[in-house]
Amino acid sequence: MSSDAPKPPPDFKSALERARSAFGHARTGDVAALTSLLDSGVSPNLSNENGDTLLMLACYHGHQDAARLLLERGADPEQPNDKGQTPLAGVAFKGSMPLAELLLERGALVDGAGPDGRTPLMYAAMFDRLEMVELFLARGASHTHADAGGATALQAARMMGAQRTAARLEALAAGGK
């Protein structure tokens, strides 16, 4: 029984295995292994079948050293996944202040939004991450920006029952600081 289908060249299999390995190491934060893979030619902007980059995975799983390495090697802090979410939006969802600060220092847009129009401020507000809301506001985030459905960060916070961030954004909307 023979197959007429062409077989991938050995270098393709090797590249595929290196890519799979890189995603695993980004998820676990294995900086030494990521360094080796990047040194061997793996792109710091490599993305998987969901559009998640190595940076997105490192950030989402809370690995600051891995994220720093990827950024130093040229990872794009604004490269969205297939849902239009950026690494900063993922960090706002998960709540890592050190990663939020790192991404902002390395060029992530504080008001960067995907097709749904949701900004990192909105994610932080929805999940009652007051310290992160304050960081984003201090970095110039717009509290009046509306998503594709017309909701602002304040409305998102209210909808999710995020009392602390809703109170902060209400004060801001009322003209407070």
How would DSSP label each residue in 1-18? ----SPPPPHHHHHHHHH
Q: Is the pLDDT of residue 17 over 90?
A: no
Alpha helices in the chain (DSSP H): 10-28, 31-39, 54-60, 64-72, 87-94, 97-105, 120-126, 130-138, 153-160, 163-173
Structure tokens of 132? Answer: 């992160």
pLDDT band at 11 (very low <50, low <70, confident <90, very high): confident
Query: d(Cα 123, Cα 95) in Å, to the nearest integer?
Result: 9
Rounded to two decimals, the pTM is: 0.88
Last residue of a domain, one of 37, 67, 84: 84
Boundaries of domain holding 67:
11-84
Burial of 99: CB neighbours in 10 Å, binned 0-12, 13-18, 19+: buried
pLDDT value at residue 10: 54
Report the chain's mean pLDDT, rounded to a whole number.
93
51-66 average pLDDT score: 97
Asked if residue 51 and residue 115 are part of one domain, the reply reads no
1 against 39, higher pLDDT: 39
Q: What is the mean pLDDT of residues 96-116?
A: 95
| 77 and 137 co-located in one domain | no
The pLDDT-based confidence of 60 (bands split at 50, 70, 90) is: very high
End of a domain among 31, 66, 84? 84
Q: Give domain status of residue 92, yes or no.
A: no
Q: Is 38 within the bounds of a domain?
A: yes
pLDDT band at 3 (very low <50, low <70, confident <90, very high): low
21 occurs within a structural domain: yes
Q: Which residues contact 105 (CB under 8 A, 6 or more apart)?
A: none
* CATH number for the domain that contains residue 66: 1.25.40.20
Query: Does residue 9 carry a pLDDT above 70?
Result: no
Assess whether 80 and 116 both reside in one domain. Answer: no
Residue 169 forms part of a structural domain: yes
16 and 50 co-located in one domain: yes
Residue 163: both structure tokens together: 């009392």
Output the pLDDT for position 67.
98
Task: Examine residue 101 and state whether it is found in any structural domain, yes or no.
Answer: no
